[in-house]
Structure 1
């Protein structure tokens, strides 16, 4: 008989709980699901379930994350020829997950959060970061800012997803794809001029040693994150400030966006779920070159935050450093930190 290590036993228990929870949520939905029944399905005690997940919400989010992790799809082999082609392909990829009318796991396939949690502020913040990630790729297909276009497309696709949940079978996905294609031709007069940026305090210059944590993974490409360049740490309520860092960085400079949360089990899982889901779609349409100078790290353990000197980051955190040749040469904290550090011109950028 093979004796399992403690880590192997924990992994087996966790897998059993996730499988049982997926069945429970599929059969009863989130609201009517019971932790006691999940434990019974997994042939475990209620305590064993809670030893792995602090509550039903965290468990539901973990089930959705597990589902997203198995929905990788084939990555794009070449960049789209135009913004219109890119948006049509992105819409098709997004809509592929819509369930059939008789799909018993439809709510899970839709990543439904209706009635699960009240994180409106986090979701609004995430929406701005999601639009930036899509826009960054779209901007490689032509000149000009494309954030408003990205916001419009994501709004349309979110609406199609909500309709699939509340009125399954209604609407034509092909019409949605065509609408997204045509949105690329709309002139939204998109400009970048936030009114508060001229009033942001300048970054502090310095020459501090830079010791980034080992192997922070870029969620976009899988490469190592936190290289030389601009490193901005943003809490779950401040993700919209990522664009300030991206737009303020010097041409060609690497921008690393590190996301931290004050509640890893729920807010952290929500952030990871939404971003993983979006990036899965984006990678099937755009090649990694689309985000050549942007990296995204989900800093669950706040290791990057600690590396830049933040002792206790939370959902309101906004801080940034500029790194060159192994030294931190500029620091900023508070609103506009990414802009301040990115705008700090302390010599030629390599």
Structure 2
């Protein structure tokens, strides 16, 4: 990255980074123009990928010495990293709320990006006027660390808000669905946690690199650390894009089908509560609705001709289970009964689980151990002895 170097610097590591960036740019275009029921979410995550890619592209321009051959490449504002936090935050909101739209109030979250853009234009104009390379001006070494610090604080703040949205969504899912496949946002939660950790490491490193080394790479440890972090940032971003492409069009209740405001169910008498409990248990025992792998709270409430909020209230407050745990406890009981029934000996353990209402081996194993304290295979061995 030394401005005096005039050769094109391409090595296996930065080639691997550049190939990742190409994949990210392709994925950005796919997400941007993707059709589906989450167009806003797709656009928000595509913009996130684009911004990270542009930032890393700028670093690759410097690392490969392309700026020595094409100085005008440094006249382009590459950095918009203060937008990353708000974009991921609004992406989480768009995924969990089909009625979410970006309002004028939402736009104010992107004011720092405008400031960041203007500061880059000032620096570019200053470098052109003094015939200096963009990253060698004194202004760059003072403004850029401040921008990074602001971006780091912004990313950590908005990712924290995003995790709160996801956690609230997960609670809602457990109260409304009996299977979490293609509904849960645990995949996004994990990626956000990893992304937050990466930026906690990335920003202090870059600030130290700018203030104390100023692109002078005399130490191989600094070069390796810089490459390693760029590799992680490139391919973690690619991973986020791929997961969004695969799981981003989740199926939720439409806005007009969502929960109505909770009524004051605390005024219900013991007899009314017990009557509701009896109806729920009778329906599950007689109709075996838990065998429906996609059973939802709304479907159960329709069958009972009752308010979904009432069912949820009774389950949580008087049966001490959310809807997910309640239905799956019946499924586990069904599995145990079938394991002890000779007529089901021809089925595998997974086959019995699917016959009992589960639609995921991972979910079945986790729920079974949670209810019985044993793995399904261990339980099966014990029951055959």
Question: TM-score higher than 0.5 here?
Answer: no
TM-score of the superposed pair, with normalisation by structure 1: 0.22
Higher strand proportion (structure 1 or 2) = 1
- Give the structure with the larger helix fraction: 2
Structure whose CA Rg is larger: 2
Higher RCO structure (Cα 8 Å, ≥6 apart): 1
